[in-house]
Structure 1
Amino acid sequence: MDAAVPNEGQEPLGDRPIAASAAFEGSAEIAEARDLARDFLTSVQVEHGLPVSKRAMGMAQLVVSELVTNARKYAPGPCLLDLEIIDGAVRISVWDSSTAQPSVQAADPERVGQHGLEIVTAVSETVSVHREPVGKRITATLVLADDPGEAAAGRQAM
């Protein structure tokens, strides 16, 4: 893993985004990606005083794990993970070199595997896929704090 130190060498704290990035090349590094998400959100709480619910902490690690796993499994070369706090949410973005556009498959309780994007879509506020000049970027957002009535933040059931 090649990690960028969060916010190192940037403008004063009030003027800069709260962000972290890392590159991952091996499947063993998927756990490191989850650790980066956990450590990043812990610093968001401790250093920046932003509320992060237990649910958001767990869901962010799950989304990072699923997106990085898919990138490592289906695309050659490294993948890039970016985490950024925007308007009370964490934006999780994973770039990989594959141009193949992922899709959520129809529910099939007998299917083994290939549920990653299904899971990411179910737990995230928003999910988008964008083609890049090389490869693609999948971005998911998760609200950091549950509402005061203890209702879980995120996509609401229809």
Structure 2
Amino acid sequence: MDSGLKNELEQKVLAGERLSFDDGVALYECDDLAWLGSLAHHCRTQKNGDAVFFNINRHLNMTNVCSATCAYCSFQRKPGDADAYTMRIEEAVRLAEAMAPEGLTELHIVNGLHPTLPWRYYPKSLSELRAALGPTVALKAF
């Protein structure tokens, strides 16, 4: 990014002006991460002051058995594969409870598209996880 465009974008950001689509593309393509970080810090402190927010996220994958064959996925296993697994709901709850003392704020659940698990497994697992973890942990699932 040339210094003229960089200066123009910086002035817009510091003035609180709305950025255009082209401005966004230019910022996306910029390789000066320290400069981008300073602009982001300015925007964040303008909005939130010195308050900083953190999320403690953990992953729980209750099954890796999947009937799909997505080209990008290295997670998926077929039924019968040596490293295929499907947790009982009680096992998943026990693992999630073990994560809670770490200050857990979000539990992210990504499963395979299991070909034989009944539909009720999914809402029941969420219900039991919610009961175990309480309302302060966000469940991001499926």
- Compute the TM-score of the two structures, normalised by the length of structure 1: 0.25
Higher strand proportion, which one?
1
Instruction: Give the TM-score normalised by structure 2.
Output: 0.27
**Larger radius of gyration between Structure 1 and Structure 2:** 2
Richer in helix (by share): 2
